[in-house]
Amino acid sequence: MPQRRTEVYAMAAPPDDDVLLARSLHCSRAGAPVLTDVSLGVRPGEVVAVLGPRGSGKTTLLRTLSGQLVPDGGEVHYDGSPVHTLSPPRRERLRREHFGWIGAEPALVPELTVWENAALPLLLRGESARRARPRALEWLERLDIDGVAEHRPARLTPSQQQRTALARALAGPPSLLFADDPTAPLHGADGALMLRTLLAAVRSHGVTTVLATCDPRIAALADRTVVLLDGRRADTPAATAAEGVAACSLSV
């Protein structure tokens, strides 16, 4: 288990054993800079929170780290190999085979049942439904939604939908999980339960995790926190609080 520690801002020489490494990322959206000179290293099995107020660039950072976006400048390396220079099909394959993603929207496939949604990463990797189904069901049971395994997403509550998305993100299991404000659509106890389940699952399976949140209480559950303000690394959570983090709504 990695030691909890406070991140120091300037990360000039990240350690060689980082499984995920970003160097001096720059990203613009619609002509405006969204990430400026962001560097970050994540060690195997670590749970790192990216903490920042709304609009600070957390989603853009996670999408860039996970190969969904190509940065305008800078580098992303996974397991020692560059991600930012891969062709789109190879980036897609890397994401499918090694990464999990859960965002604030469950983004389930409406035509598929709950277990088929949860099994999707396995099915896309070419596993048979016969092998994928029990593995998906294991996660559904752990998340207490095995009773709706044959339902379509439209019949589920928002909490059940988001837990299905979490089962899908973990079913692989992935080497690296990106969790972008995953409890945002959930209220109080539902959000707290989901977060506890997510953290217990990634820690027991050794899944390296990057968790974006605007809630310092959630960030405090990670092994380490890095702070984004206006698309730049910032050094203290206090600075983020001053920028209006209190506007975020989840309790744990």
Name the residue nearer to ligand ATP (CB basis): 61 or 140. 61
> Which residue in 30, 87, 88, 204 binds ligand ATP (CB under 6 A)?
30
Phi, psi of 41 (to 5 degrees): -125, 140
Least Cβ distance, residue 181 to ligand ATP (angstroms): 6
219 binds ligand ATP (CB under 6 A): no
Name the residue nearer to ligand ATP (CB basis): 116 or 181. 181
> Which pair of structure tokens corresponds to residue 153?
């997403």
> Closest by alpha carbon to 102, among 162, 56, 20?
162
93 in Cβ contact with 54 (< 8 Å) = no
> Which pair of structure tokens corresponds to residue 6?
């406070």
Peptide bond into 173 cis (omega under 30): yes
Least Cβ distance, residue 149 to ligand ATP (angstroms): 31
DSSP SS3 for 127: coil
Least Cβ distance, residue 85 to ligand ATP (angstroms): 22
Q: Please name the amino acid found at residue 79.
A: D
240 binds ligand ATP (CB under 6 A): no
Task: Note the residue count of the chain.
Answer: 252
> Which residue in 34, 51, 156, 229 binds ligand ATP (CB under 6 A)?
34
Least Cβ distance, residue 59 to ligand ATP (angstroms): 3
> Which residue in 18, 51, 57, 177 binds ligand ATP (CB under 6 A)?
57
Contacting residues for 249 by C-beta, under 8 A, at least 6 apart: 184
- Residue ranges that bind ligand ATP, judged by CB under 6 A: 29-30, 34, 52, 54-60, 214
